[in-house]
Amino acid sequence: MPDPSFLWGVFQRVDKDRSGIISDTELQQALSNGTWTPFNPATVRSILSMFDRENKGGVNFNEFTGVWKYISDWQNVFRRYDRDNSGMIDKHELKQALTGYRLTDQFYDLLIQKFDRQRRGQVAFDDFIQCCVVLQKWTDVFRRYDTDQDGWIQVSYEQYLSMVFTVV
């Protein structure tokens, strides 16, 4: 974790309106996904929602330090699996990164299709974060219903809708 004074300097530069709170648009402008394109707004909102404990529409400095660590941790994972250092993760690299999930090739195709905003068969860093966050949220919801931990659940339509709206 970087020195707190360094993070404070970053926080002040990002907090354009000097409110003491970094909004999603301020954070998006400050983030780089390594491909010279802006971070996906949905990814930024998703990250902020995890750290904005008081629902104020942004993060204060203490929460920002958590955001910084969270993004740095994901960046380390991304770099480890971006074997060709292209700044993008292809299906094979994504499969390696998500090995613990034991998913089919068809499902990895679906993930690439869903999170590849540039339609090149690869996902950028910010889309990789979004993919992992969504996958983890759905896994957590699934595990709540998989009480016998056999990888199968049976839910009513209303339970299914509750699952969907919990994650969305």
Domains of the chain in sequence order = 4-166 (1.10.238.10)
**In this structure, which amino acid lies at residue 50?**
M
Mean pLDDT of 53-69: 92
What distances in angstroms separate CA 29 from CA 98, 149, 163, one per listed residue?
A: 28, 42, 32
Structure tokens at 162: 């509750």
Residue 144 has pLDDT above 80, yes or no: yes
Mean per-residue pLDDT of the chain = 89
H-only helix segments in 52-156: 61-81, 91-97, 105-115, 125-145
Mean pLDDT of 8-22: 93
Q: What is the pTM of this model?
A: 0.78
Q: How far apart are CA 134 and CA 43, in angstroms?
A: 10
Residue 35 has pLDDT above 80, yes or no: no
What is the band of 168 on the pLDDT scale with cuts at 50, 70, 90?
A: low
How would you class 55 by CB atoms within 10 Å of its CB: exposed for 0-12, middle for 13-18, buried for 19 or more?
A: exposed
Give tens-digit pLDDT for 66-117.
999 998 898 999 999 999 888 899 999 999 999 888 899 999 999 999 999 8
Q: How far apart are CA 100 and CA 24, in angstroms?
A: 31
> What pLDDT shows up at residue 122?
94
31 vs 67, which has greater pLDDT?
A: 67
Cβ-based neighbours of 64, under 8 Å, separated by 6 or more: 7, 11, 22, 51
Paired with 58 in beta bridges are 23
Residue 92 φ/ψ, nearest 5 degrees: -65, -45
